[in-house]
Amino acid sequence: MKNNLNIGKVASVRGSVVDIWFQENLPEIDTLLLAGKENQIKIEVFNQLNTTHVRGIALTPTQGLARGMAVTSTGKELLVPVGKTILGRMFDVFGNPIDQKEAPKEVTLKSIHQSPPPLSKRATKSEIFLTGIKAIDVLIPLERGGKAGLFGGAGVGKTVLLTEIIHNMVGHDDGISMFCGIGERCREGNELYNTMKNEDLLKDMVLLFGQMNEPPGARFRVGHAALTMAEYFRDEEHRDVLLLIDNIFRFIQAGMEVSGLMGQMPSRLGYQPTMATELAELQERIAYTDTRAITSIQAVYVPADDLTDPAAVHTFSHLSASIALSRKKASEGLYPSIDLLQSNSKMTSPEIIGKKHYKLSQKIRETLAQYEELKDIIAMLGMEQLSVKDRNVVNRARKLERFLTQPFFATEQFSGIKGKQVSLEDALDGCERILADEFKDYPESAFYMIGSIDEAKKPENKNLKSEEKMHKIDTNKEEATTQEPAVNP
């Protein structure tokens, strides 16, 4: 890249799209240009129109920009600070602190445009990434160095689940948590920052935000900036990084806006024709290398809850685990509101998670699937019309559903229930004992919002247990009297 000072002039301004004339030394693609008062307006070169003109997309508002104004080419791409001192801080896409503190010292500047690690440097082994959340660890195990998607419409709990995973991960494996907010509301960013500060979790975190009101260029690049910071901790500091992206759909949406501004022909449902390439450029940088791993969990807003939307379909192809959040589960108060049958993970194989865990997860899925099939019969005819075998399946499934709920640290102030982190061994033990009918006589309510299975044996459940047992004896007596007498041969 050219390092000499290169000055051009604004030829035209159309919203965030700026055409700039240069007499010579035409800036390269992705070069950062500075314009306006005190160089406050930052423009990234998008394409070269001819031998004298480039077209750029503004990363900041373009108010005050006029034809004929001077534009300085930095000769470099957009740079962000990396180093140990960025921990505990909150930045914008340019690496400027937005937490009302001084800029971090002892940092080096690095370009946001980096190549993904080559295949020769990637790890070939598969490892499980534990979250401390029962439903995820048992049925949808996440891959260390992989990408997991949280799919769901608005208001089903994507951000709450991400916040809980951050809480459970701090101090885990000497790791770093990195939160990247793409198109976030300022309220959500403020809440997250204060929550992390109050919980004393900021010391091992970096927060990066491209707010909803910022130009599409800034929202489009904030993901790349976050990955550059994450790659520093993985490659230079040799630490595991948990990268949380909220929301990857907003990245695609920002790309769609940039594409429209640049006059590109839209593809299906108005999405940009380059969506697959742009998403791959971001996702391929998230990897488990021979140093350490970047593990990513991404919230994916699904427009109108339609999983066949191109944004959801393209994102699916990059993921090793898909966690589908259900509005129906949320309305029933079953949190985390994960649709356990719609969710899946490529890690669920006996070679990776072990034969015992695999068989148990298949048995749980089978029980829940049978219950799903019986729901229509129950709705029309009631539980009484089911066979004893089917009734047992329903009881097991309903207890499993409730056992796989969990009180979150992130929601303590709202629910008044103390958050719990559950080990994989305790979660598997609980599911196994429910399927073995050890808790057949316990009420369903005993399993709701508990940690390990032994919490279901609280003293207050004893009375309910005996009442339910008496009811079962009466029901069995009625069944015995209604059966036809055996005919002697």
What are the catalytic residues?
158, 184-185
Residue in 489, 419, 452 with CA at minimum distance from that of residue 163: 419
CB proximity list for 174: less than 8 A, separation 6 or greater = 239, 240
Instruction: Count the alpha carbons within 13 Å of 241 in the hemisphere toward its beta carbon.
Output: 33
Residue 85's nearest CA partner among 192, 229, 235 is: 229
165 vs 471: CA distance, rounded Å: 41
Cβ atoms within 10 Å, residue 21 = 18
Residue 7, by phi and psi: left (phi above 0), alpha (psi -120 to 50) or beta?
Answer: beta
Rounded Cα gap, residues 405 and 56, in angstroms: 49
